[in-house]
A = this chain, B = another copy of it.
Amino acid sequence: MFVRIDLESDVPIYTQLTNQIMEGIATGELQPGEALPSVRSLAADLGINLHTVNKAYTILKDSGFIQIHRQKGAVVQSGGMPPADDAYKERLAEALRPMAAESLGRGMSLEDWLTICRASFEQLKAKREGRPI
């Protein structure tokens, strides 16, 4: 697995896991229909508890990025990813606001800001496109 957990980070382990799996899905490193490791095996691999992995899986299931077949395991969503609807865009804008405020406060220009935003997105997109489907 490609997951790396930082136990020193102040970001909760289940959040790190959720983010990295989501990133894997976004970049195509994890293909639709592809099986994720079982909660027990991934927990063992990472040296963490089964429930911590389960919490990440549950979050991803609830937001629609994976499916969980009760006796078969977790699988990357194959019936289309959840849409970027208005509700999501609003949540996104809300989350971006404090960052935009701090950047503006530190004297960044709109161009500075957009450069970093663009880089963050393109980096992931490039990863996906450099990958066979």
Contacts and interface: CB of A to CB of B under 8 A. Distances in A.
Interface of A: 19, 22-23, 25-27, 65, 81-84, 88-89, 92-93, 95-108, 110, 112-114, 116-125, 128
A96 B98 contact: no
Given A92-B103, A104-B128, 7 more contacts: A19-B98, A26-B105, A65-B105, A97-B120, A97-B124, A100-B117, A100-B120
Contacts of A84: 103, 106-108, 112
A121 B93 contact: no
A116 B89 contact: yes
A9 to B, nearest CB: 11
Contacts of A128: 104
A27 to B, nearest CB: 8
Contacts of A103: 84, 92, 121
Contact of A100 (B25, B83, B89, B121): B121
A100 B114 contact: no
